[in-house]
Amino acid sequence: MRIPEASTRPGEHTRLEAAAAPALAVAPSGAAPGFDPRRTLPLKVELRRQLKRRRTQVAFGLLAALPLILAAAFKLGSPTSGRGPGAPIDLADLATVGAPNFTLFTLFATSGIALSLMVALFTGDTVASEASWSSLRYLLATPIPRSRLLRQKLIVALGLSAAALVVLPTVALLSGWAVFGWAPARSPLGTSLATGPALVHLAIVIGYLALSLLFVAALGFALSTHTDTPLGAVGGTVMLVILSDILDSVTALGGARAFLPTHYSYAWLDALSPTVSWDGMVRGVVSSFAYSLVFFALAWRRFLRKDITS
């Protein structure tokens, strides 16, 4: 039996092909219609993901609780310092003088390891955690360009680190005000600062800490792209910071200690006097930037060439 052919009017095939053409069209780069790599993984999406994580909430909770614990320790402890006559005065002896001094002591007590750990946690965990969850390949298959993925994650991680540097002194200032009252800031050298200048110098201290800890962020981020274990990236960053601190205490190294990334960690103490001495802080910022450029370059080079198998 003969099957009749489907009847079509002249030119109908041409119109059907023309109608289907837009659905089959692709961008010059080969991407699907409507795809824009600049709209993948918006910052607000990544920020929301990180804020919902338990480690972020616990980290900020500990930062907020730390000044309260220190204030309670000073309030419940013995008021005598146990120093003999003529012994030099340090920030611990002045911590209960008023809120500004308590804030400076809190920063002094935490700027060595605690703040480095927080920065390492936010930057060292961000990429390695995605790899450990086997979700990294799905993010790249979205598709999100690798360079953009790194940039968005780095911006959010740096933002959380900066927020940590603001939360800690803010809570310390408020808790110190509530427990010890307000008084002019005093330095171990015997100089004092009124409220206005004290707040300006405190802002300088916080700004320097943010810039000097940038190398910690870069180191953690680089290690995060080299491992699938978040604990390895965070722990490795903190261990290298501690190693640098140990080497910096070896006076036999002489001038070579100036090339260690943590050599200028406490250069912000030069901002406690009425006249700020900028030399040490400038050297610290330059050193931090130099190390950061190297570590960020290593992170990008590694991740752009990495075979994502997890």
- Nearest-angstrom CA–CA distance, 222 and 300: 8
What pLDDT, on the 0 to 100 scale, is given for residue 273? 86
What pLDDT, on the 0 to 100 scale, is given for residue 188? 78
pLDDT at 30 over 80: no
- Rounded to the nearest 5 degrees, what angle is found at the Cα of 154, between the Cα atoms of 152 and 158? 120
Residue 150 near residue 300, CB atoms below 8 Å: yes
Of the listed ranges 18-27, 191-200, 282-291, 294-303, the one predicted with least confidence: 18-27
Query: Average pLDDT over the chain, rounded to whole?
Result: 83
Of the listed ranges 118-122, 214-218, 302-306, the one predicted with least confidence: 302-306
- Nearest-angstrom CA–CA distance, 118 and 56: 9
Residue 107 near residue 209, CB atoms below 8 Å: yes
Per-residue pLDDT tens digits for 51-103: 999 999 999 999 999 999 999 999 887 655 555 544 455 778 888 888 999 99
The residues pairing with 192 across neighbouring beta strands, listed in sequence order, are: 186
pLDDT at 191 over 60: yes
Mean pLDDT of 154-167: 95
pLDDT at 146 over 90: no
Q: Which residue has the higher pLDDT, 208 or 90?
A: 208
Return all residues near 251 (Cβ < 8 A) that are at least 6 apart.
257
User: How far, CA to CA in Å, does 156 sit from each of 26, 48, 149, 163, 299?
Assistant: 32, 10, 11, 10, 16
